[in-house]
């Protein structure tokens, strides 16, 4: 298995040579800054030390008061975050709320940092996962944080691995007692989810974020840790792409860089399983307005009888694009256009307000 150093070198090379991000990579190398704060169960230096950035430093929690967070594009707080002194909470809040900083948190920091400093958006659902490696579904492959991930993990290098994971999925390691993420606010965007986590522990989000404050602040949270030791090379490669993409996007925004087209490289790779819908056409899509979504009324949500002769497990979910072949949970449909949804996918779509296919307001 490749080392983290090798994987991050490969990510950098792929971005410069194949993913049309040479200028962004160079800008991050010259100007990007990330500060990581250790947790008792997270050793972020394993990955942060290999990120291309002008500064990447990992510190112990007690030292946070000595650092000017506003000098950094990203601050990463590792699980569990409970060793960070409460006296630092206003400083962390100010970094995001007033200065537009971006904060990444992992696993138990959901309880000790997010719920304490930024309540009302996401929370721990009180379940604890087992030590497991689960398949992940990419919900918004064209979001800047996930740029290139779907096409990259479909390379033959990864798809030839012996695995029961679909070509467009990757494995994410949940450590024993990882905290499932419950979404409380419809402004939260879930970029990666896992039907497997939802079935076993109640909620599906793997990677999500929300904006905070009026200066461009953002909170990004992921279940488990940044170093996916048991996730396999494909999962580690995906993780490295995601983390570097987040820093890329922050530096791109801060420096006002123009983004190169991301369409030039996908033609060489399969991407037929990309999730359909308006969120792919507009990466900033959150909730359609009445003026641009062509709302024509309401539609009832009804549970599907899977024994009905007209139902096929080979049909695809309107939200995530995956079929129902390996799914054992409840299935619902829009009574107006018959669009089908996994239960968790429906919950996320309802937060967006309307049916993914027909645009009508969904009602129970």
Q: What is the pTM of this model?
A: 0.70
pLDDT per position as a tens digit, 33-59: 999 999 988 888 888 999 999 999 999
Among 150-164, 243-257, 275-289, 347-361, the least confident range: 275-289
For residues 109-134, average pLDDT: 94
Start-to-end CA distance of the chain, whole Å, equals 48
For residues 118-134, average pLDDT: 93
pLDDT at residue 229 in the model: 54
SS3 annotation, 168-181: CCEEEEECCCCCCE
Tokens at 183, concatenated: 């979404």
pLDDT at residue 243 in the model: 93
pLDDT at residue 37 in the model: 96
Q: How far apart (Å, rounded) are the C-alpha atoms in residues 324 and 331?
A: 8
* Exposure of 231 in the CB half-sphere (CA atoms within 13 A): 26
Tokens at 135, concatenated: 């398949």
pLDDT band at 228 (very low <50, low <70, confident <90, very high): low
pLDDT band at 266 (very low <50, low <70, confident <90, very high): very low
pLDDT at residue 123 in the model: 97
Name the more confident of 121 and 224.
121
Does the structure show a pLDDT above 60 at 293?
no
pLDDT band at 72 (very low <50, low <70, confident <90, very high): very high
For residues 259-276, average pLDDT: 40
Closest to 144 (Cα-Cα) out of 234, 24, 242: 242
Does the structure show a pLDDT above 60 at 224?
yes
Task: Give yes or no for a contact between 120 and 112, defined as CB atoms under 8 angstroms apart.
Answer: no
Cα torsion 22, 139, 363, 357 to 10°: value is 80
Run of H or E including 355: none
pLDDT at residue 161 in the model: 52
CATH numbers and ranges of domains, the chain: 4-268 (3.40.50.880), 287-364 (no CATH)
pLDDT at residue 284 in the model: 38
pLDDT at residue 290 in the model: 32
Does the structure show a pLDDT above 80 at 91?
yes
Q: How far, in Å, are 226, 330, 338, 349 from residue 302 at the CA level?
A: 39, 11, 10, 14
Closest to 342 (Cα-Cα) out of 313, 308, 363: 313
For residues 90-115, average pLDDT: 96
List CB contacts of 42: < 8 A, sequence separation 6 or more. 78, 79, 106, 107, 225, 226, 227
3-state secondary structure of 135: strand
pLDDT at residue 54 in the model: 96
pLDDT at residue 167 in the model: 64
Q: How far apart (Å, rounded) are the C-alpha atoms in residues 58 and 33?
A: 11
3-state secondary structure of 189: strand
Task: Give yes or no for a contact between 95 and 210, defined as CB atoms under 8 angstroms apart.
Answer: no
- Looking at the chain, how many residues does it have? 364
pLDDT at residue 268 in the model: 36
pLDDT band at 232 (very low <50, low <70, confident <90, very high): low
Does the structure show a pLDDT above 50 at 222?
yes
Does the structure show a pLDDT above 60 at 278?
no
Tokens at 217, concatenated: 């602040």
Task: Give yes or no for a contact between 67 and 33, defined as CB atoms under 8 angstroms apart.
Answer: no
pLDDT per position as a tens digit, 294-304: 334 788 899 99
Query: Could you give the percent of the chain with pLDDT greater than 90?
Result: 51
Does the structure show a pLDDT above 50 at 26?
yes
For residues 152-164, average pLDDT: 64
pLDDT per position as a tens digit, 302-334: 999 988 878 888 888 888 777 887 777 889 999
pLDDT band at 260 (very low <50, low <70, confident <90, very high): low
Could you give the angle at which helices 232-255 and 4-17 cross, rounded to 10 degrees? 50
Does the structure show a pLDDT above 90 at 126?
yes
Task: Give yes or no for a contact between 27 and 252, defined as CB atoms under 8 angstroms apart.
Answer: yes
Q: How far, in Å, are 156, 165, 172, 342 from residue 230 at the CA level?
A: 21, 14, 8, 27
pLDDT at residue 2 in the model: 60
């Amino acid at each position: 298995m490749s080392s983290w150093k090798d994987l991050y070198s490969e990510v950098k090379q792929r971005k410069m040579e194949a993913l049309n991000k040479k200028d962004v990579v160079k800008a991050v190398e010259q100007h990007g800054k990330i500060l990581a704060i250790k947790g008792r169960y997270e050793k972020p230096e394993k990955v942060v030390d290999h990120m291309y950035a002008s500064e990447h430093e990992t510190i112990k929690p007690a030292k946070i008061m000595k650092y000017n967070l506003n000098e950094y594009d990203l601050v990463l707080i590792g699980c569990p975050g409970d060793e960070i002194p409460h006296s630092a909470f206003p400083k962390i809040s100010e970094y995001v709320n007033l200065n537009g900083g971006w904060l990444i948190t992992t696993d138990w920091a959901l309880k000790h940092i997010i719920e304490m400093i930024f309540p009302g958006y996401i929370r721990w659902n009180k379940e604890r996962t087992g030590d497991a490696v689960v398949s992940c579904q990419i919900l918004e492959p064209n979001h800047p944080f996930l740029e290139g991930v779907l096409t990259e993990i479909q390379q033959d290098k990864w798809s030839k691995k012996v695995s029961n994971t679909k070509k467009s999925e990757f494995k994410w390691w949940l450590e024993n007692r990882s905290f499932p993420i419950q979404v409380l606010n419809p402004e939260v965007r879930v970029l990666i989810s896992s039907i497997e986590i939802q079935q076993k522990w109640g909620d599906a989000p793997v990677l999500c974020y929300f904006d905070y404050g009026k200066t461009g602040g953002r909170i990004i949270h992921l279940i488990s840790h940044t170093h996916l030791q048991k996730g396999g090379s494909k999962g580690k490669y995906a993780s490295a792409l995601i983390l570097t993409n987040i820093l890329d996007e922050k530096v791109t925004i801060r420096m006002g860089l123009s983004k190169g087209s991301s369409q030039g490289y996908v033609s060489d790779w399969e991407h037929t399983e990309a999730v359909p819908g308006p969120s792919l056409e507009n990466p900033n899509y959150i909730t359609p307005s009445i003026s641009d979504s062509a709302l024509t009324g309401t539609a009832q949500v009804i549970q599907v009888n899977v024994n009905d002769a007209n139902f096929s497990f080979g049909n695809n979910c309107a939200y995530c694009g995956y079929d129902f072949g390996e799914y054992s949970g409840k299935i619902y449909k829009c009574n107006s256009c018959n669009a089908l949804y996994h239960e968790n996918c429906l919950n996320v779509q309802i937060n967006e307000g309307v049916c993914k296919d027909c645009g009508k307001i969904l009602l129970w």
